[in-house]
Amino acid sequence: MFNVIRDCNEPEELLNAKESNGPIPTNGELYESIKMITNNHCYLCESQIKSRAIEHVQAHKRNPVLKYEWNNLLLACTYCNELKTI
């Protein structure tokens, strides 16, 4: 796992999703922002990302506030994303 420095503001797209209590957008401004700060690498295994998987670092099911928390969103590769659900 690597250290992520978020040197950009929370994307407007995420703020809009939070306001409407909608789904996390998986493409567009949010994805591009996370891709930039992670250098398009999985935050767990550090492999290059080949799919658009925005992952919650901490699960948001028990704490809904975490669903739209900018600091709780990173990219995960398909393999690591599937391992987290087991």
CATH number at residue 53: 3.40.1800
80 occurs within a structural domain = yes
7 occurs within a structural domain = no
25 occurs within a structural domain = yes
* C-alpha torsion angle, residues 53, 48, 36, 85 (rounded to 10): 30
4 Cβ contact list (under 8 Å, min separation 6): 37, 38, 43, 74
31 occurs within a structural domain = yes
50 occurs within a structural domain = yes
Give the total number of structural domains in the chain: 1
Residue 1's pLDDT is 65
3 occurs within a structural domain = no
Q: What percent of the chain has pLDDT over 90?
A: 58
44 occurs within a structural domain = yes
For residue 80, how many C-alpha atoms fall within 13 Å in the half-sphere facing its CB?
22
pTM (2 d.p.): 0.86
Give the confidence band of 85 by pLDDT, cuts at 50, 70, 90.
Answer: low
6 occurs within a structural domain = no
Q: Which two tokens mark 20?
A: 């409407």
Amino acid letter for position 61: K
Question: Which domain, by its residues, includes 18?
Answer: 12-84
Q: Which two tokens mark 21?
A: 């209590």
Amino acid letter for position 17: A
Q: How many residues are given for the chain?
A: 86
Q: pLDDT tens across 50-72, in order?
A: 887 899 999 898 999 999 999 99
